[in-house]
Amino acid sequence: MNENPSHNNERSPFPESVVKELTTLFNYDSVKLGIIELLLDGAWHSIDDIYRSLYPVISEIGILRIALIINEFREILGDTVIERKDDEKDITLWRINPEYIDFVRKIVKQASAQHRHNAKNLGFSF
């Protein structure tokens, strides 16, 4: 079975260039990979929620970096995929549009496997 999200039976909404860019992005940055994996649940998350969830396992993360990464995701995927809304307290919330979760999950799965492979080649174990 081919794991390339752009070559599965279901047509990917993302051009091959976007799939490649995201795979590379997630492959080399565990913070970006952690953020996108958290957003794959389809729920709305504030930047503070993301920080609290990831800080215990990724200590090199900060609020500003999370905001910049989410904006980077929006530049690559568009605001149709990475959705934004403000709650009743004017807190900005983020999520992956449920219509795109399966496609993004396939990209993340591919990148995550490559990330682990690269780490093992550097002598890290999982």
Bridge partners, residue 45, by sequence: 94
CATH of domain 29-121: 1.10.10.10
Cα-flanking dihedrals φ and ψ of residue 23, to 5°? -60, -45
Per-residue pLDDT of 63-106, as tens digits, reads 999 999 999 999 999 999 999 999 989 899 999 999 999 999 98
pLDDT at 85: 95
- SS3 for 3? coil
User: What is the model's pTM?
Assistant: 0.76
Per-residue pLDDT of 7-66, as tens digits, reads 444 677 888 888 888 888 777 788 888 899 999 999 999 999 999 999 888 877 889 999
Which residues have a Cβ under 8 Å from the Cβ of 104 and sit 6 or more positions away? Answer: 36, 40, 77, 81, 96
Which residues have a Cβ under 8 Å from the Cβ of 77 and sit 6 or more positions away? Answer: 14, 18, 22, 100, 104
